[in-house]
């Protein structure tokens, strides 16, 4: 009898352990309201997990999300829903969530940097919630999203697996919330635009779920335009106009170039028609041609001719960020080259720190942890990763991941789908000029090219942190949803 009791106890204990490992709480529902354009929007926030199951039906991960659903909607079928995520890889959706699109945002300084702690969480009158319901997704390894106990995290870390898990999340959410009939949109930022193109194609191919429109914010579509690897000249070509924008902003020129409104256009033309050819020629350039190119580069960037000659006509972005304001003992940001900080280590030729991220990361991490517990009434003792460690990340078969084939395929399959590409002029993480090049290689007919709409902002990668550009982004969102 005692042995039977012990056996039953062990079985019951094992059941409890299994239940604790796989238990996922029902999302917490909270009601609130927000005034947008003078109209009060009543909404319900749902905060919690969706269980991700692999193709064998095994529960392998818990994916955290916050969904905002407008209340008292008379015709839910016609109400759009937008699935939102950031990039990284490994980034949570907190940046778009509390920086631009969600019903609450973090108050920023006048220049778009973070204010001093404690951070203020304020109503976001520029939210998209009057235009669409919103679902903010944290892929596995970011935010509160984790593999279940016993599952290897590496199975989720890579382009192909990430596309499958996020696509399945969208399908599950759509089923559980009875939204198959609703217009569906995707909004991604940075690597989130990479994911957006892959997910859009996957949803169409695997589930027959067609997307009405995708918003690509700070687009990363062809990684050959981004990766400053040896023997890859594309980043030097496509970063050059951003260098020019930045040099003008910081007024490094000693002549009319500081106010020349055509200077960036001249830099774009030089980059495509002259600089690209010179880099292609390599050692075949004559000494005279090399000097000529170096002088032109100096003219457009404010970096000395001698420096370009010393570095074989190629200044990577991390070096440019160090050198541009070296005389002022400052370095400039990578995500936003408008922002600066004192150079903490002057005796080296590169900028490792990023004044456009350090303070901002702390503000978003702290503010979201406060917001989720207080207003959303959700508690999770796991650490919330604004950017989780998901490395090594498998980018695909080739050296440079390129999702333009997926975007092309989606446009051909669904010629009604609209694409909105939003670009920060001062972004050295994903340059606007590189995005333009990637789209120019789509090889699609003119009627499909009309589906693609471009907007530009006087800030960086997270252009919405500068309030004037947040206002512009909101106005552009209105136009985007009206066109669909």
Residue 3: predicted pLDDT: 39
| Per-residue model confidence as pLDDT tens digits over 340-371 | 999 877 666 666 789 999 899 999 999 999 99
**Rounded distance, CA 227 to CA 232, Å?**
8
| Per-residue model confidence as pLDDT tens digits over 232-287 | 999 999 999 999 999 999 999 999 999 999 999 999 999 999 999 999 999 999 99
Residue 34: predicted pLDDT: 98
Residue 90: predicted pLDDT: 96
Residue 340: predicted pLDDT: 96
Residue 441 confidence (pLDDT) above 90: yes
In the chain, % of residues over pLDDT 70:
93
The backbone torsions φ and ψ at residue 167, rounded to the nearest 5 degrees and listed phi first, read -65, -40
Residue 29: predicted pLDDT: 97
Q: Which residue, 193, 287, 203, 273, is CA-closest to 240?
A: 273
Domains of the chain, first to last: 23-224+361-483 (3.40.50.1820), 228-342 (no CATH)
Output the six-digit token pair for 249. 């902003």
Bridge partners of residue 29, in order along the sequence: 46
In this prediction, residue 413 has a pLDDT band, given cuts at 50, 70 and 90, of: very high
Residue 126: predicted pLDDT: 98
Summarize the confidence of residues 373-377 as an average pLDDT: 97
| Per-residue model confidence as pLDDT tens digits over 151-168 | 999 999 999 999 999 999
CB 274 within 8 A of CB 296: yes
The backbone torsions φ and ψ at residue 99, rounded to the nearest 5 degrees and listed phi first, read -110, -30
| Per-residue model confidence as pLDDT tens digits over 197-211 | 999 999 999 999 999
In this prediction, residue 11 has a pLDDT band, given cuts at 50, 70 and 90, of: very low
Cα 471 from chain centroid? Answer: 19
């Amino acid at each position: 009898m005692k042995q039977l009791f012990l056996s039953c106890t062990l079985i019951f204990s094992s059941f409890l352990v299994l239940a604790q490992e796989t238990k996922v709480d029902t999302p917490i529902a909270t009601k609130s309201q927000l005034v947008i354009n003078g109209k009060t929007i009543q909404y319900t926030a749902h905060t919690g997990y969706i269980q991700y199951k692999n193709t064998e039906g095994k529960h392998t991960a818990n994916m955290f999300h916050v969904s905002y659903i407008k209340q008292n909607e008379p015709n839910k079928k016609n109400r759009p829903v937008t699935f939102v995520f950031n990039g990284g890889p490994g980034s949570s959706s907190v940046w778009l969530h509390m920086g631009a699109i969600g019903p609450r945002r973090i108050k920023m300084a006048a220049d778009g940097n973070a204010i001093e702690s404690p951070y203020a969480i304020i109503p976001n009158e520029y939210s998209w919630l009057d235009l669409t319901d919103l679902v903010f997704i944290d892929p596995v390894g970011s935010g509160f999203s984790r593999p279940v106990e016993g599952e290897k995290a590496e199975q989720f870390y890579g382009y192909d697996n990430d596309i499958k898990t996020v696509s399945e999340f969208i399908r599950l959410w759509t089923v559980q919330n009875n939204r198959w009939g609703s217009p569906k949109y995707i909004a991604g930022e940075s690597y989130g635009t990479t994911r957006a193109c892959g997910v859009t194609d996957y949803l169409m191919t695997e589930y027959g779920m067609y997307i009405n429109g995708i918003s690509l914010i700070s687009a990363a579509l062809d990684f050959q335009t981004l990766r400053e690897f040896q023997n890859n000249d594309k980043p030097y070509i496509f970063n050059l106009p951003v260098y020019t924008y930045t040099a003008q902003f910081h007024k490094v020129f000693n002549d009319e170039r500081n106010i020349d409104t055509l200077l960036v256009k001249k830099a774009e033309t030089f980059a495509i028609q002259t600089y690209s050819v010179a880099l292609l020629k390599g050692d075949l350039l004559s000494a005279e041609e090399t000097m000529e190119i170096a002088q032109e580069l100096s003219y457009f960037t404010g970096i000395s001719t001698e420096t370009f000659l010393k570095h074989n006509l190629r200044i990577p972005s991390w070096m440019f960020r160090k050198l541009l304001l070296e005389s002022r003992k400052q370095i400039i940001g990578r995500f936003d080259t408008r922002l600066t900080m004192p150079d903490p280590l002057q005796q080296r030729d590169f900028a490792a720190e990023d004044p456009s991220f350090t303070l901002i990361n702390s503000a978003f991490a702290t503010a979201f942890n406060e917001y989720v517990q207080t207003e959303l009434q959700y508690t999770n003792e796991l650490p919330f990763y604004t950017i989780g460690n998901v490395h090594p990340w498998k980018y695909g078969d080739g050296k440079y991941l390129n999702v333009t084939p997926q975007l092309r395929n989606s446009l051909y399959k669904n010629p009604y789908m609209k694409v909105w590409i939003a670009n920060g002029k001062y972004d050295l993480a994903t340059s606007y000029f590189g995005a333009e090049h990637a789209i120019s290689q789509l090889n699609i007919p003119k009627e499909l090219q009309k589906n693609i709409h471009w907007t530009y902002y006087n800030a960086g990668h997270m252009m919405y942190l500068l309030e004037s550009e947040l206002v512009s982004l909101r106005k552009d969102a209105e136009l985007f949803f009206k066109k669909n």
